[in-house]
């Protein structure tokens, strides 16, 4: 099999640390032939570090319309995900799009429809599904150890962790703050474990209480005048099968127990919890018969050293193999679209004060 020829659009923090590193680690499956970024110097730096023979451009159209490219990676501002992804699919490319899938349910559904119509594969960058702890817990869920899971809590809370680089606090470019940035990961995990994407209703609350208190942020202070997104958001999601999900997402919240990309599951036969300690992510399971901790068992924990690069390598490998072997990737676009619809509904519910019915 010849290598997949890849074009990447957007080589900022995630585009570089996760995707360029992941592609480089899978050089047996792919080669990077085109690099696009709005900042020419950043694109040139990426070329020099990862693909000396690749070309660079500031126009994404050059990447999506290049007949020599098979796979496109979209790692741009959230508001441009749908436009670029659909253009690439229409041009006959398979697409890996970073999370969140889009900033609205309508855009997400458009991406799903375009992938189906063109016959090209599409996946979304929910790399937390590839962690050792999340994979271990998925095995326990699939084995029925928790029974019927009817309550889930999705955690994405930082006490102080506002990203002060890039455009994270710019609503016009990102579509939202911590809810759409890190809440999306926690919600994806919760829905994935529940295995049911039929949503009945969503109720949400969104807050901007700490935007004028930049003190104590590890990434440095920010300008409150340009902080146009929420600092925390909360959602209550009810599925048609009766199960419920509580979602909490915050970049700044006075909570002494922050945790991110983590879930708590409660079922008829047992429960499970993913927590993040100084050492990394750990899983605990409890059953009706007896409590038992499994954090010491193989593959039940993910050390913090297994960060973006390691997960990006695993994500890239399964994605390219899914294309090569013509099977579904781990993250289906239909699943990611529901995540986007729920996030949109939380914002809409908070704005209207009403529960959003699906």
Q: Name all domains of the chain by residue range, CATH numbers in brackets.
A: 4-128+312-331 (3.40.50.720), 131-306+339-357 (3.30.360.10)
Provide the whole-model pTM. Answer: 0.94
pLDDT given for residue 175 in this prediction: 87
Would you mind telling me the total number of residues written for the chain in this entry? Answer: 358
8 A C-beta contact, residue 252 and residue 231: yes
pLDDT at res. 283: 85
Residues 6+ positions from 157 with CB-CB distance below 8 Å? 232, 248, 249, 250, 253, 255, 257, 258, 259, 260
* Cβ count near 357 (within 10 Å): 10
Give 223-280 pLDDT, tens digit per residue.
Answer: 888 899 999 999 999 999 999 999 999 999 999 889 999 999 999 998 999 987 667 7
pLDDT single digits (tens) 54-78: 999 999 999 999 999 999 999 999 9
Q: Please report how the helices 105-118 and 333-352 are oriented relative to each other, as an axis angle in degrees rounded to 10.
A: 160
CB burial string 27-58: b at 16+ within 10 A, e below: eebbbbbbbbbeeeebbebbbeebbeebebbe
How far is 151 from 244, CA to CA, in rounded Å? 5
Residue linked to tokens 């994405």: 156
Q: What are the distances in angstroms from CA 141 to CA 190, 193, 239, 339?
A: 12, 7, 18, 20
pLDDT band with cut points at 50, 70 and 90 for residue 287? confident
- Dihedral, CA atoms, 337, 75, 194, 253, nearest 10 degrees? -110
């Amino acid at each position: 099999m010849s290598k997949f020829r890849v074009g990447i659009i957007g080589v900022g923090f995630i585009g570089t640390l996760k995707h360029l590193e992941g592609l480089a680690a899978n050089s047996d499956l792919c080669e990077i032939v085109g690099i696009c970024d709005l900042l020419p110097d950043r694109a040139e730096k990426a070329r020099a570090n990862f693909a000396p023979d690749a070309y660079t451009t500031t126009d994404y159209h050059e990447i999506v319309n290049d007949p020599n490219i098979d796979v496109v990676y979209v790692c741009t501002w959230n508001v441009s995900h749908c436009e670029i992804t659909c253009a690439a699919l229409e041009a006959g490319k398979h697409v890996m799009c970073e999370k969140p899938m889009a900033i609205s349910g309508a855009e997400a559904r458009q991406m799903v429809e375009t992938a189906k119509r063109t016959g090209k594969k599409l996946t979304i960058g929910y790399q937390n599904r590839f962690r050792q702890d999340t994979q271990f817990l998925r095995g326990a869920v699939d084995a029925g150890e928790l029974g019927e899971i009817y309550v889930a809590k999705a955690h994405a809370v930082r006490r102080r962790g506002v990203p002060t680089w890039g455009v994270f606090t710019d609503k016009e470019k990102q579509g939202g703050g911590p809810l759409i940035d890190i809440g999306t990961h926690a919600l994806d995990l919760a829905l994935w474990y529940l295995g049911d994407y039929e949503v009945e209703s969503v109720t949400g609350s969104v807050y901007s209480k700490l935007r004028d208190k930049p003190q104590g942020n590890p990434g440095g202070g920010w300008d409150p005048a340009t902080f146009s997104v929420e600092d925390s958001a909360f959602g209550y999601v009810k599925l048609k099968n009766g199960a419920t999900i509580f979602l909490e997402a915050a970049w700044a919240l006075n909570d002494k127990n922050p945790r991110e990309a983590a879930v708590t599951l409660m079922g008829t036969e047992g429960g499970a919890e993913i927590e993040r300690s100084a050492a990394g992510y750990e899983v605990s399971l409890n059953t009706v018969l007896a409590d038992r901790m499994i954090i010491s068992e193989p593959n039940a924990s993910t050390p913090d050293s297994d960060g973006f690069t390691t997960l990006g390598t695993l994500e890239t490998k399964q994605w390219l193999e899914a294309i090569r072997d013509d099977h579904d990737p781990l993250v289906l676009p239909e699943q990611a679209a529901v995540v986007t619809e729920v996030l949109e509904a939380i914002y809409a519910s908070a704005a209207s004060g009403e529960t959003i019915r699906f």
